[in-house]
Amino acid sequence: MSQKFDVIVIGAGPGGYVAAIRAAQLGLKTACVEKWVDGKGKAVLGGTCLNVGCIPSKALLDSTHKYHMAHEEFKIHGITANDVAMDVPTMIKRKDQIVKNLTGGIAGLFKANGVTLFEGAGKVLAGKKVEVSKNDGSTEVVDAENIIIAAGSVPVNIPPAPLTEGLILDNEGALNISETPKRLGVIGAGVIGLEMGSVWARLGSDVIVLEAMEEFMGFADKDVAKEGQKLLKKQGLDIRLGARVTGTDISGQEVTVKYTDGKGDQEVVVDKLIVAVGRRPYTEGLLAGDSGVELDERGFISVDNQCRTNVPGVFAIGDVVRGPMLAHKASEEGIMVADIIHGHKAQMNYDCIPGIIYTHPEMAWVGKTEQQLKAEGVKYKVGKFPFAASGRAMASQDTDGFVKLIADEETDRILGCHMVGGVASELIAQAVIAMEFGSSAEDLQLTVFAHPTVSEAVHEAALAVDGHAIHVANRKKR
């Protein structure tokens, strides 16, 4: 007789493991299926985020930022640091240890909350059954009252640049480069491309980023994109827009990248090439033909606003469904679905999902851009405050960037916030909370912010919405 669970989660990434833990906390008999294993055949939890995404990339970004500061910025503080050098293998080892600690922590949380782990690949069958093809070669069919699909996503590969071990790399390979390449090519100026490009530029690589789109960061507010492009160029990233890669040739330990742009056919020779053109939902082998679960035209699992599929009792969350491919979006969807299964009234505000690029300075945003509001015909007002006018930012020698707040012209309700700054990833949460509670710009204006803090820039941007900023000259209102 097969085992039966209240909830079976397929995938132990940031959506899946959070959903499983939440469901177990609510008293539901819960299992989670995960097929990822390490080099020793041991189950690895945490998905892309913890293993080859969010966490390891931030570890490398932090290490290289500290190196850059010691090498380039300490002198202005009166600190002399001679013969500063980066030991890349030690940096990679530190990154790996952080990953090991966190993934092991999830295993501990599963045990503490009573989540049953199945090591293998899960497939949704008809009648709310899950077939588990275990890593030891055996197969088991498990019954569930509810199924949560959280299988995640995989990198998009492109025919002109097939992955080649040690030379042409995806995001996972980019995290394990063992020595600083003299010349690094990156295909794609999205989050992964810019972050990985920044890591190696700080260590001395000549970095060329090839982006097929004519516009830099077209998904972001234009002010953020313009400032980001300027600062990244200053840091040494050679970002070439409208550059469509047509092919690659490998000769020895060099890669010749062929591309076309407005000037015609071009080519560049690099020592390593990172392909970072996006990700696609991972659904291979996930759904049996009789499961009944529908996919949309782009290959995502079709769901409603509460992540229900067309099959009752089957939910899908995270990268396999519509919306931004972000770990925090997946996690909150996991919590929402577990609550719904338990009978709670739960929902998620998809208008308040922040986006962040962890370069330095960081770029972060939430809500609508000016361009979106113009296209929608919404009347709005804007307040902007530069970190160059922030006392705390000056004291920290971190004055690049700004905070930009957008509010409805009639209701004063905050519609969006966009920023570039040293700690933008932390500051954006203030705007997210304000928007989640339907705050107006005036609400932030009347809020007491501690002094001196970089968060005062959010306060000043809110004041600037109505031309009342204190520490910068106010722009004339339209």
Contact 429, 366 (CB under 8 A): no
> Which residue among the candidates 344, 360, 451, 459 is catalytic per the annotation?
451
459 catalytic residue (yes or no) = no
Give the relative orientation of helices 424-436 and 456-465 as an angle to the nearest 10 degrees.
50
Q: CB-based burial of residue 425 (10 Å sphere; 0-12 exposed, 13-18 middle, 19+ buried)?
A: middle
- Residues with catalytic roles: 451
